[in-house]
Structure 1
Amino acid sequence: MSVAKHIADTVELANGVTMPWLGLGVWQAADGAEVETAVRAAIEAGYRSIDTAAVYGNEEGVGRAIRETGVKRDELFITTKVWNADQGYESTLQAFETSRRKLGLDVIDLYLVHWPVTGKYKETYRALEKLYRDGSIRAIGVSNFLEPQLHDLLGECEVKPMVNQVEFHPLLTQPSLYSLCKEHGIRLEAWSPLMQGNLDLPLLRQLADKYGKSPAQIVLRWDLQRGVITIPKSVTPARIAENANVFDFNLSDADVAALDALDEGRRFGPDPMTFV
């Protein structure tokens, strides 16, 4: 059975806040015209979730674009993240204020610890808990946390992360992390769901032909049917619209299982255990 049937469909996080299943990622989108065009195109196509980060350098452009669309603030879900160099308690509080100013928003919908910086991520997360209690953030979470860091954080945090945003795609399904997040009510969110363009796989071509969809649409539908929030990145309006056209079909259980079986633990991004 499908999880999401329409682009407006949302998932409820552990604290009751609702988050769209599908969002636009803006990693590597240049600040200014490029990111603004992408965000406007996404919102016109029905997206209501935009995922940025301090290190992307485009929070100001995202902020301008969402204001220009005229869509009501409470209909949008905006995520940003604290970068590694700003981790630590006080520095995270300062970094948050900078992000909030650049975005032009009083409240951020979801704020994430971008990477688990050894020796700092727990203090960083403690700052997120304060901001959450203060009402400056509607939901908090982490990004790129694997089982060791997640177990470590869960042993001390007062507010469980509501989201863990990680690299997730058919070649990297991280089943034990998936299970751990599910056990603790943490929603898994996929970055680089389209494997940074490495979609030329025989099974994806076969399923694309079978369902009359693109390989990218097959992967995004698989994400949604696995119960994984997904944020494909694109700056091309036609591709942004195509990525949203995944709510009019369902993969069979057998095809979902076949995609699951592609897993080979292959990363296209950095390894969270070694990335600094």
Structure 2
Amino acid sequence: MTRTVNLPGGTALPLIGFGTWELSPTTAYESVRAALEVGYRHVDTATLYRNEADVGRAVKDSGLDREQVFITTKLRPQDARRARRTLESSLRLLDTDYVDLWLIHWPTGRNEFVSTWRELLDAKDAGLARNVGVSNYSPEQIDELTEATGRQPAVNQIPWSPGQHDPALLDEHRRRGVVVEGYSGLKNTDLGDPVLTGIAERYGVTPAQVVLRWHLEHDIVILPRSSRRERVAGNFDLDGFSLSKEDVSAIDALGR
């Protein structure tokens, strides 16, 4: 069963997403097809990645109903002044009438800071994006958007890993009701760390699976990516074990 977290508007966001950063068009298509066959129902792309058309084609060719797949794309800050046109282009490339989540990829310049967020809210009101949020923003920047518009981002996508995580920062997001999506969780981790290899050995899983499961224990959305089918499957296969409180604490301590 796909584990989900509810976004403020009530949309169910699958906790395990498939990331497509740095996947070339052909690889993106094949990897997304593999991910959907394995059971992923959440795919993350961006204008910057230049693979939206391939992601869209993979979703279409999977045979799944559009409603069954949660699709995220992101707006580059340099496209802030043509935000709506950029989203419309993304929708054409993805071959869909809407995205489930549209994020500002990282903070824009001061002149466009609030106006860009208003553009995302307008797109949501127009039904082009079911949910809108940000990526790489601080809680203070989120507050600035919320105070200016009365509406806060549903999601903040930020780097998160055992070696680079901040419980206080997570609390700040939880207090605001903003869902945290963690990226580069595996890339920024030493998978040979004895803490991780020891736990992996005990459960008969890989250190990568331990790291991803640790994210889920904290209710953080994960976006692992791989072009190898066995890894795509392994990164999704996280239900066969759970970490004890002691395991979680030991992994938490890697960030200190």
For 2:252 and 2:187, the matched residues in 1 are separated by 14
Partner AA of 1:27 in structure 2: W
Q: 1:52-110: per-residue Cα shift (whole Å, max 9, x none)? A: 0000000010011111111011100000000121023xx11111111111111101100
Rounded to whole Å, the distance in 2 between the matches of 1:111 and 1:225 is 25
1: CA distance, partners of 2:18 / 2:113: 26
Structural mapping, 1:98-117, within 5 Å:
98-117=89-108
Q: CA deviation at 1:195?
A: 2.6
Instruction: State which of 164, 167, 190 in structure 1 corresponds to 2:156.
Output: 164
Aligned equivalent of 1:204, options 192, 196, 216:
196
The structure with more helix, counted as a fraction of residues: 2
Q: How many residues align?
A: 255
- Per-residue CA deviation, residues 209-228 of structure 1 (Å, 9 max, x unaligned), is 11111010001100001010
Paired residue for 2:173, among 173, 177, 181? 181
Query: Gaps spanning 5+ residues in structure 2: where?
Result: none
Shift of 1:196: 4.6
Structure-2 residue corresponding to 1:141:
133
Counterpart selection for 1:10 from 1, 4, 20: 4
What are the within-5 Å matches in structure 2 for residues 216-231 of structure 1? 216-231=208-223
Is the Cα–Cα contact under 8 Å of residues 157 and 183 in structure 2 kept in the other structure? yes
User: SS at the partner of 2:100?
Assistant: strand
CA apart distance, 1:162: 0.8
Q: Determine the C-alpha separation between the residues in 1 that align with 2:199 and 2:109.
A: 41
**Aligned twin of 1:95:** 86
Q: Is the 8 A contact 1:78 1:108 kept in 2?
A: yes
Alpha-carbon distance between aligned partners in 2 of 1:22 and 1:260, rounded to the nearest angstrom: 20
Give me the whole-angstrom Cα distance separating, in 1, the residues matched to 2:182 and 2:234: 18
Deviations 1:181-228 (A, max 9, x none): 101111100111113563221211111111111010001100001010
Q: Distance in 1 between matches of 2:32 and 2:187?
A: 21
Matched, 1:29 2:20: no
> What amino acid maps onto 2:126 in structure 1?
D
SS in 2 for 1:227: coil
Deviation, structure 1 residue 175: 2.2
* Counterpart among 53, 57, 78 of residue 50 in structure 2: 57
Q: Secondary structure at the match of 2:122?
A: helix
| Matches of 1:102 and 1:158, distance apart in 2 | 32
Q: How does 1:239-258 map to 2 (within 5 A)?
A: 239-258=231-250
Distance 1:58 1:37 in 2: 12
| Structure-1 separation of matches of 2:224 and 2:217 | 15
Structure possessing the higher relative contact order (Cα contacts under 8 Å, 6 or more residues apart): 1
Contact 1:64 1:103 in 2 (8 A): yes
Tell me if the contact between 1:192 and 1:233 (Cα under 8 Å) persists in the aligned partners.
no
1:25–1:232: 8 Å Cα contact kept in structure 2?
yes
Q: Match for 1:47 among 40, 47, 54?
A: 40
Whole-angstrom CA distance in 1 between matches of 2:9 and 2:243: 30
Aligned residue type for 1:63: G
Match for residue 120 of structure 2? 128
- Give the conservation status (yes or no) of the 8 Å contact 1:83–1:114: yes
State how far apart, in whole Å, the 2-side matches of 1:86 and 1:174 are.
31
Aligned CA RMSD, in angstroms, stands at 1.2
What code does the residue aligned with 2:33 have? R
* Partner Cα distance (1:163, 1:171) in 2: 22
State the shift of 1:147 in Å: 2.7
8 Å CA contact 2:14, 2:70 repeated in 1: yes
State the distance in 2 between where 1:121 and 1:206 align.
45
Query: Does the CA contact (< 8 Å) of 2:101 and 2:133 recur in 1?
Result: yes
